[in-house]
Amino acid sequence: MADNVPANPPGNPAPVTELTADDKTGGSFRFTPRGVPVITGVNRVGLLALYMKEVRRFLKVQTQTIWAPAFTTLLFLVIFSVALGREGREVLGVPFASFVAPGLIVMAMMQNAFANSSFSLLGGKMQGTIIDYLMPPLSPGELMAGILGAAMTRAAGVGCAVALAMALWPGVSLGLAHPSAVLWFGLMGSLMLATVGLATSIWAEKFDHNAAVTNFIIAPLSLLSGTFYVIENLHGVFQTVSRLNPFFYVISGFRYGFLGASDIGDAGHVAAAGAGLLALNLVLAAGVYALLRSGWKLKS
């Protein structure tokens, strides 16, 4: 057997082992030299496996991850419609319930995208299973894509569940004026919060850190985003603050897709807001990719 092992190929100092027909398998093959990757390009099998793992994780408790948010969001609609939508009140030319509904749908989508991605790596840290994310042959980009894709899948599921519940509620009309705007702003909002959630998952060392980001950043930005009001009713200073809130553009653009009107402005302003959200997501994604590649708080 030793006589059948060839010398190292010229110019390749790495040892190469060749098994010939004398092997039990009856065939011959070469082991890859050290330092040479076996998988080239995108690891599609590994990426799909990670994505399915993350999706099955939230589907296993779908009562909590899908249907509970739909029920809670429907309660928001009922409470605010009863409190503020009486006597036929209209906003942007539609009944108050129809005005509030799109904002509540996309707000639930964003919050659940954050919840899903912010638990992924943090749960591994707390449970001692972080090696399950770091050991497989996945690049930082593939790891990020799998986690963000699952978070956006959960966001889409929650959005559909909330929309179904609201469509059955009396007084709510969810006709689509611009379906492309609904799709784009829903995608951009979910991706934005999924990316922020992944960054939180990298940084956090305990669940209290995750809760702090949720309570002191995500919740205030959600409630001050124009979900329940138009910013024209606010003081000039608060209008400026609202226009600096990216959640405002997600919710207003998503609402434009249903109603054909928003407090951003006309179609040109809505398109500019959509482009701005894309640029913001690219910046956030680049930052998170750099964190994953460095291994900060994951490998050290």
Mind listing the pLDDT tens digit for each residue in 70-93?
999 999 998 888 877 666 788 888
Let me know whether 21 and 135 are in one domain.
no
Q: Are residues 9 and 125 in the same domain?
A: no
Of residues 32, 10, 13, 29, the one with CA closest to residue 21: 29
Task: Indicate the SS3 state at residue 94.
Answer: strand
Q: Is residue 184 situated within a structural domain?
A: yes
Alpha carbons 242 and 106: distance in angstroms, whole number: 17
Evaluated on CA atoms 231, 236, 237, 241, the torsion sign reads positive
Domain assignment present for 223: yes
3-class SS at 106?
A: helix
Structural domain count, the chain? 2
Asked if 234 and 145 sit in the same domain, the reply is: yes
Residues 31 and 53 occupy one common structural domain: no
Q: Which residues 6+ apart lie within 8 Å of 202 measured at CB? A: 121, 288, 291, 292, 296, 297, 298
C-alpha dihedral over 83, 84, 89, 94, to 10 degrees? -110
Most confident of the ranges 36-45, 74-83, 245-254: 245-254
Same domain, 96 and 168: yes
> Does residue 72 belong to any structural domain of this protein?
yes
Give the tens place of pLDDT for each residue, 168-205. 888 888 889 999 999 999 999 999 999 999 999 999 99
Please indicate, yes or no, if residue 300 is contained in any of the structural domains: no
Span 218-237, average pLDDT:
87
pTM (predicted TM-score):
0.85
State which residues form the domain around 96.
44-294
The tens digit of pLDDT for each residue in 124-134 reads 999 888 999 99
